[in-house]
Amino acid sequence: MIVVNEKYDKKRRFLGFEGFKDIPEVKHDLKNVRAGFMALGARANDIIEVKNATRKRMVDLVRDLKQDVTRNMLNRETTCIFLYYAGHGGMVNNYTVCVLNEERNYAIE
């Protein structure tokens, strides 16, 4: 999975996030990481690309991945998940978090 968050216009409305600039360089990361996955033998249809992720999209993806891993375990198949994230991040309660461009500030709830 490749998650690239370029836009932060909504996040800048929150106190403490005013300096979060957009990151247009993540477009290059997406291209380069995708090529790297392919060079490692990944199939194009197995690579999930997420641009400007929302919290709902990320929750849905993790739920779907969990179901896939569980199904594969029951079939005695091995699953390898590699997640690449490009975008702003931060620390909350000693956890590294992805900063998403949301109308609501989930990171400090």
What local confidence, expressed as pLDDT, does residue 22 receive? 98
Residue 13's Cβ-side half-sphere holds a number of Cα atoms within 13 Å equal to 9
CA atoms within 13 A on the CB side of 18: 2
Given this model, what pLDDT does residue 109 score? Answer: 39
| 3-class state of residue 23 by DSSP | coil
Structural domains of the chain, count = 1
What pLDDT score was predicted for residue 87?
A: 95
Q: What is the pLDDT of residue 105?
A: 64
Q: Which residues is 90 bridged to in the sheet? A: 97
pLDDT tens profile 18-51: 999 999 999 999 999 999 999 999 999 999 999 9
Mean pLDDT of 62-85: 94
pTM, to two decimals: 0.85
Query: What pLDDT score was predicted for residue 16?
Result: 86
Domain of residue 102, residue span: 2-108
Cβ-based burial of 40 (10 A; exposed 0-12, middle 13-18, buried ≥19): exposed
> Residue 29: in which H helix or E strand, if any?
helix 26-39
